[in-house]
Amino acid sequence: MLRNPHPLRQQGWGGCQTNMGVNGYLELRDLKLSIPMRGRARTWGKPTTCTIFLSNNKWYASITVNCVPERQTGTEAIGLDFGCKVAIATSNGEFIEAPKFQAKAAQKVKQLSKQLRRKRRPEKRKTRASRRWLQAQTLISKVRRKVANQRHDWSHKVAAQIVSSNSLVATEKLNLKDMTRKGKGKRKRQKAGLNRSLLDVAIGMTKDAIKYKVIEAGGVYLEAPTQKLKPTQRCVKCWQTTKKTLSGSVHICKHCEHQEDRDINAAQVMLTWARGQELSSLDVEPPSSTNCGNMRQLGALKRQKT
């Protein structure tokens, strides 16, 4: 069955093998069958692990490879400000809209949850879930999975686009755990809504994606200390701070009367700060050989070593 025998087979490596990461076949030794594969790895290397797992009624094979990732990048520099109304504001004066996948799927989840409530749910040692309950549950997890996939896809696309032309990326340090902490008292419901929209943008995921992509491309990724720099209050023209309330969306400097959108000004401040950092003092390393693949597997690899 195997169309392209791979040298790894002769080495007797593991339980599976592939065809250089481009489609090809996966052979499971114990099952004695070759499974045609779809998709391709961006960079291929020596496979180290292969995990077969079932997720949402679909089977996946995840392969980690030891490789030197390559990525093209431009020579420009950019500052990025993350928010919830507009997902990202750049120092070039552009806005990247938040896709709101969660908000769009909320209606559907609500509808399905209602159906779920009307079916017999499992109770400990008393009753088993009805077939219909299980079916409804599967439908809900399908919608949730789709939202997660969409968000993941969006994060990586945006990050790849940003990194493709910028080799210096400046953002600010954000404490997402504190930012999305549960609200108390009167503001509880309001805060819950804000948290939902903050989490829907997946700031953390997008930032992480940008970070590793920039480093992979041999560029520089810098995070400004928010407390010290105060990018939302500082003016990019005269470097003085103007106190602001959360509601105002325009930056008007009281020292030099410079006017700019609040988020764009913040992004520009971050970029100026990053340019001022002495680049030689930063450790700019060329990307070394790393393990690429599924996050869960990489975590397992790390644990093995320690």
DSSP letter for 187, please.
Answer: G
Taking the least distance from each CB to Zn ion, the nearer of 237 and 244 is 237
Query: Which H/E stretch holds residue 273?
Result: helix 262-276
Token pair of 33 as six digits: 């069958």
Site for Zn ion contains 253 (CB under 5 A): yes
**Piece of the chain touching Zn ion by CB under 5 A; list 152-160, 190-198, 199-207, 250-258:** 250-258
Q: How many Cβ atoms from other residues are within 10 Å of residue 78's Cβ? A: 25
Structure tokens at 66: 């030891």
Q: Are strands 25-28 and 33-36 parallel, antiparallel or unpaired?
A: antiparallel
> Which range, of 122-130, 139-147, 253-261, 270-278, touches Zn ion by CB under 5 A?
253-261
202 binds Zn ion per the rule CB under 5 A: no
Nearer to Zn ion, 161 or 259 (CB): 259
Please, which residue, 207 or 234, has the CB nearer to Zn ion?
234
Residue 104 makes contact with Zn ion by CB under 5 A: no
C-beta closer to Zn ion: residue 203 or 269:
269
The CB-of-282 to Zn ion minimum distance in angstroms stands at 28
How many C-beta atoms surround the C-beta of residue 144 within 10 A? 15
- Closest approach, Cβ 244 to Zn ion, in A, equals 13
Closer CB to Zn ion, 209 or 235, in the complex: 235
CB of 288 to Zn ion, least distance (A): 43
Locate all alpha helices (DSSP H) within 128-243, ordered by sequence: 131-165, 176-179, 188-201, 203-216, 226-229
- The nearest distance, CB 255 to Zn ion, in angstroms, is 5
Choose the stretch contacting Zn ion; rule: CB under 5 A; options: 59-67, 184-192, 199-207, 245-253: 245-253
Rama region for 7: left / alpha / beta (φ>0; ψ in -120 to 50; rest) = alpha
Return the number of the residue (213 or 234) whose C-beta is nearest Zn ion.
Answer: 234
Residues numbered 256 to 275 that lie near Zn ion (CB under 5 A) are: 256, 258
What b/e readout covers 166-191, taking b as 16+ CB neighbours within 10 angstroms? bbbbbbbeeeeeeebeeeeeeeeeeb
User: Residue 35: helix, strand or coil by DSSP?
Assistant: strand
Figure out which of the listed residues 187, 188, 255, 296 binds Zn ion, where binding follows CB under 5 A.
Answer: 255
201-204 long-range contacts, Cβ below 8 Å, gap at least 24? Answer: 201/82, 201/84, 201/87, 201/98, 201/99, 202/151, 202/152, 202/154, 202/155, 203/82, 203/87, 203/174, 203/176, 204/176
Q: Min. distance of Cβ 252 from Zn ion in angstroms?
A: 9
* Residue 241 CB, nearest approach to Zn ion (Å): 9
Minimum separation from the CB atom of position 48 to Zn ion (A): 53
Show contacts with Zn ion in window 222-241 (CB under 5 A).
235, 237-238
Asked if residues 69 and 216 have their Cβ atoms less than 8 Å apart, the reply is yes
Q: Read off the amino acid at residue 180.
A: T
| Count of residues of this chain found to bind Zn ion when the rule CB under 5 A is applied | 7
Closest approach of Zn ion to the CB of residue 258, in Å = 4
Which region, judged by CB under 5 A, interacts with Zn ion, from 19-27, 78-86, 109-117, 249-257?
249-257
Q: Are 162 and 80 in contact (CB under 8 A)?
A: yes
In the complex, which residues of this chain contact Zn ion (CB under 5 A)?
A: 235, 237-238, 253, 255-256, 258
